[in-house]
């Protein structure tokens, strides 16, 4: 019988994978401060998310930074930003806005794995199908890539797109999200050069 993967924890019932352990979180938070990234919307990142959604034909896109307790979408695009559609909010009606619990979604897994993650149908993966955003928001597909800082080597966060329908992202989608992640890291370093402006 094999031991569990070291970066994971399981809930008390042993049935659902929960958020992976993130030993880099304190260093990430410190590095984000150095880069001038705070828990405020960044118009440049909103524009980046909008372009990412359009390039991949996705209804939602995020530039997401993760600390010890939560995720913050410094860049966010939803259908309501540009076209008719539903808000990114739990079906019970309480809006997530730009903040999401760390145990929601798949970005924390991408940060810990330090690799892109392609989920064309999250329900095909027992490891990911039980995530709260499946039932609360109705997300069925996810495509995300880590933002690896050149200087520290830390995964600072992610960029991602999601859909409430099954999506065949394919190899092309994977290459697009990875190329955009590199571009977003470039933008982060340009912000640092400008003093976080």
Q: CATH number, domain at 111?
A: 3.30.450.40
pLDDT band of 9, cuts 50, 70, 90? very low
Among 76-80, 104-108, 138-142, 158-162, which range has the highest average pLDDT? 158-162
Give the lowest-confidence range in 5-14, 56-65, 75-84, 181-190.
5-14
Query: Dihedral sign, CA of 53, 121, 22, 24?
Result: negative
pLDDT band of 35, cuts 50, 70, 90? confident
Query: Dihedral sign, CA of 124, 64, 99, 15?
Result: positive
Domain annotation covers residue 20: no
Number of structural domains (the chain) is 1
Domain annotation covers residue 80: yes
Rounded distance between C-alpha atoms, residue 150 and residue 189, angstroms: 9
Domain annotation covers residue 30: yes
Task: Determine the pLDDT at residue 182.
Answer: 97
Domain annotation covers residue 35: yes
Contacts with 84 (C-beta within 8 Å, 6 or more apart), sequence order = none
For residues 41 and 94, the model is more confident at 41
Buried b (16+ CB within 10 A) or exposed e, 72-97: bbbbbbbbeeeeeeeebebeeeeebe
pLDDT band of 43, cuts 50, 70, 90? very high
Domain annotation covers residue 1: no
CB-based burial of residue 138 (10 Å sphere; 0-12 exposed, 13-18 middle, 19+ buried)? middle
Q: Could you give the C-alpha distances from 44 to 29, 62, 73, 193, in angstroms and in order? A: 20, 12, 12, 15
Domain annotation covers residue 13: no
In the predicted model, is pLDDT for residue 54 greater than 50? yes
pLDDT in tens, 148-195: 999 899 999 999 999 999 999 999 999 999 999 999 999 999 988 877
Domain annotation covers residue 54: yes
What DSSP designation does 138 have?
A: -
Task: Determine the pLDDT at residue 96.
Answer: 45
Neighbours of 11 (CB within 10 A): 11
Domain extent, residue 36, equals: 25-193
User: Residues 11-16: what's their mean pLDDT?
Assistant: 38
pTM for the whole structure: 0.81
How far separated are the first and last CA of the chain, in Å rounded?
52
Rounded distance between C-alpha atoms, residue 26 and residue 51, angstroms: 30
Domain annotation covers residue 160: yes
The tokens describing 174, both together, are 């994977």
pLDDT band of 19, cuts 50, 70, 90? low
């Amino acid at each position: 019988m094999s031991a569990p993967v070291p970066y994971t924890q399981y809930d008390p019932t042993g049935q659902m994978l929960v958020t992976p352990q993130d030993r880099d979180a304190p260093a990430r938070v410190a590095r984000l401060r150095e880069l001038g990234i705070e828990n405020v919307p960044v118009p440049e990142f909103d524009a980046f998310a909008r372009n990412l959604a359009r390039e991949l034909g996705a209804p939602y896109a995020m530039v997401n930074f993760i600390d010890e307790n939560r995720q913050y979408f410094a860049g966010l695009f939803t259908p309501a930003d540009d076209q008719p559609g539903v808000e990114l909010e739990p079906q019970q009606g309480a809006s997530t806005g730009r903040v999401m619990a760390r145990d929601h979604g798949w970005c924390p897994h991408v940060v810990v794995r330090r690799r892109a993650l392609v989920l064309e149908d999250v329900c095909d993966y027992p490891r990911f199908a039980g995530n709260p955003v499946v039932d609360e928001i109705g997300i069925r597909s996810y495509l995300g890539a880590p933002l690896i800082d050149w200087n520290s080597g830390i995964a600072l966060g992610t960029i991602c797109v999601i859909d409430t329908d099954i999506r065949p992202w394919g190899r092309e989608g994977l290459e697009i999200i990875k190329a955009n992640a590199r571009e977003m890291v470039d933008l982060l370093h340009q912000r640092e050069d400008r003093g976080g402006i």
